[in-house]
DNA sequence: ATACAAATGCAACATTATTGTATTTAGAAA
DNA sequence: TTTCTAAATACAATAATGTTGCATTTGTAT
């Protein structure tokens, strides 16, 4: 489920990160916290179409720097943005979770719960971060496909 | 090491996929087979700067459709292209390997050898493909960083 | 209430990708 | 070899995405 927060909490978040409480920022926050999937850049732009495109880019950038959201590219290379779970810090993201890209509805899910197995790389490679992408059908779409009715 | 092939083999590859043997296609093939890393779209364009940009896009697209190369987005969302290993077929890629993106030299390595552990997703998710990204230092760059001299 | 830094809005521009069409070319057929 | 045709390339135009600089507005500390 989506993380439910009210406007006061969003204002607190901004204050905590030394960001001014502005209407565009609050709207972006509340939009992203109302969903349990990442939002694509095109979607964000069309939903927030009265906010200047450049402003939106800048809001997303500061939010990412501050560890409020993280950026993830879907299988088409399109930027998607999702709220970070609690333990992200400024300039140090803990987004080593699995990103699931549904091939039907195109939604990107962040599966935080999943623990990523440790991988051993060939000699010489010094990995610092991992991200796993899976594609296929999400619960909603797989249900549709196999359901007797509909 | 890079897979070494000569021009005759490239011509065979094209013929096998019912593609005409043209100079631009052969040049793209030989360029990509000469490297052991993926090539970014910007790099491709600057190296192949006398081939029309649109032609390059179309060549990359058919090669991908035919299973000759695969596209991988690096951590910045930039498209990178790499030759597929043997068992890729038309419209059915087997690129479930690990992509290693070096944070220093920006190169993307396809680590085919590595076997990907099976992951269990939350109920309802029906994964069809996995890709793992790792970022960090590649052998060349990690050596540079720790070397006494240089 | 004022002042100032920060944020927004706007204009211009850069890069990456797509579509349509005329021209050229590879390869098959005569 | 020459001719023919579908395929491939080149070129022009446009769309989508992302960036930079600067003037204006706004949040907030004083």
Q: Express each pLDDT in B119-146 by its tens digit.
A: 889 999 999 988 899 999 999 999 876 6
* Higher-scoring residue by pLDDT: A94, A65: A65
* Higher-scoring residue by pLDDT: B133, A115: B133
Using the CA of A50, give the nucleotide whose C1' is nearest: C9
User: Residues A44-64, buried b or exposed e (16+ Cβ, 10 A)?
Assistant: beeebeebeeeebeebbeebb
Give the residue from chain A lying closest to B126, CA to CA. A137
Å separating the CA of residue A78 from the C1' of nucleotide C30? 52
Please determine, for residue A55, whether its predicted confidence score (pLDDT) is greater than 60. Answer: yes
* B130 within some domain: yes
* A105 within some domain: yes
* B48 within some domain: yes
**DSSP one-letter code for A51:** S
The answer to whether the Cβ–Cβ distance between A119 and B124 falls below 8 Å is: no
Nearest to B109 by CA among B35, B25, B51: B35
State the pLDDT at residue B94. 56
Strands, E, within chain B: which ranges? 37-40, 69-73, 79-83, 98-102, 108-111, 126-137
* B64 within some domain: yes
State the pLDDT at residue A66. 95
Give the residue from chain B lying closest to A109, CA to CA. B125
* Top-confidence range, A100-114, B15-29, B82-96, B126-140: B15-29
Please determine, for residue A40, whether its predicted confidence score (pLDDT) is greater than 80. Answer: yes
* pLDDT tens-digit map of B28-39: 999 999 998 999
Using only the alpha carbons of chain A, give its radius of gyration.
17
Best to test chain B binding among A74, A102, A134 (most B CBs inside 10 Å)? A134
CB half-sphere exposure, A114, CA atoms < 13 A: 23
* A2 within some domain: no
Asked if strand D contacts A133 at the CB level, meaning under 7 A, the answer is no
Assign residue A41 the CATH number of its domain.
Answer: 1.10.10.10
- Mean pLDDT within B9-23: 96
Domain that holds residue B111: 7-146
The answer to whether the Cβ–Cβ distance between A132 and B129 falls below 8 Å is: no
* pLDDT tens-digit map of B89-109: 555 555 578 999 999 999 999
The total number of structural domains that make up chain A:
1
State the pLDDT at residue A150. 36
* A126 within some domain: yes
- Mean pLDDT within A81-105: 75
* B1 within some domain: no
State the pLDDT at residue A89. 54
* pLDDT tens-digit map of B52-86: 999 999 999 999 999 999 999 998 899 999 998 75
Residue with tokens 């993201």: A93
Asked if strand D contacts A55 at the CB level, meaning under 7 A, the answer is no
* B57 within some domain: yes
- Mean pLDDT within A118-126: 91
State the pLDDT at residue A134. 92
Å separating the CA of residue A54 from the C1' of nucleotide C12? 13
Q: What is the mean pLDDT of chain A?
A: 88
State the pLDDT at residue A68. 95
Please report which confidence band the pLDDT of residue B149 belongs to, taking 50, 70 and 90 as the band edges: very low
CB contacts of A122 in chain B (<8 Å) are 111, 113-114, 139
A61 touches chain B (CB under 8 A): no
Please determine, for residue A113, whether its predicted confidence score (pLDDT) is greater than 70. Answer: yes
Could you give the residue ranges of the DSSP H alpha helices within A66-103?
A: none
Asked if strand D contacts A78 at the CB level, meaning under 7 A, the answer is yes
Min Cα distance A107 → chain B (Å) is 12
Å separating the CA of residue B21 from the C1' of nucleotide C27? 10
């Amino acid at each position: 489920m989506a993380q439910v927060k009210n406007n006061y909490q969003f204002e607190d978040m901004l204050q905590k990160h030394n960001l001014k409480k502005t209407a565009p920022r609050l709207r972006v926050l509340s939009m992203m916290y109302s969903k349990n999937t990442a939002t694509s850049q095109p979607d964000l732009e069309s939903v927030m179409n009265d906010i200047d495109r450049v402003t939106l880019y800048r809001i997303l950038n500061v939010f990412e720097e501050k560890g409020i959201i993280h950026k993830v590219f879907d299988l088409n290379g399109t930027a998607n943005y999702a709220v970070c779970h609690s333990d992200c810090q400024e300039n140090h993201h803990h987004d080593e979770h699995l990103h699931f890209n549904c091939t039907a509805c195109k939604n990107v899910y962040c599966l935080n719960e999943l623990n990523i197995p440790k991988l051993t790389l060939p000699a010489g490679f010094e990995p610092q971060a991992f991200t796993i992408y899976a594609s296929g059908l999400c619960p909603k779409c797989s249900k549709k496909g196999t359901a007797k009715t509909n």
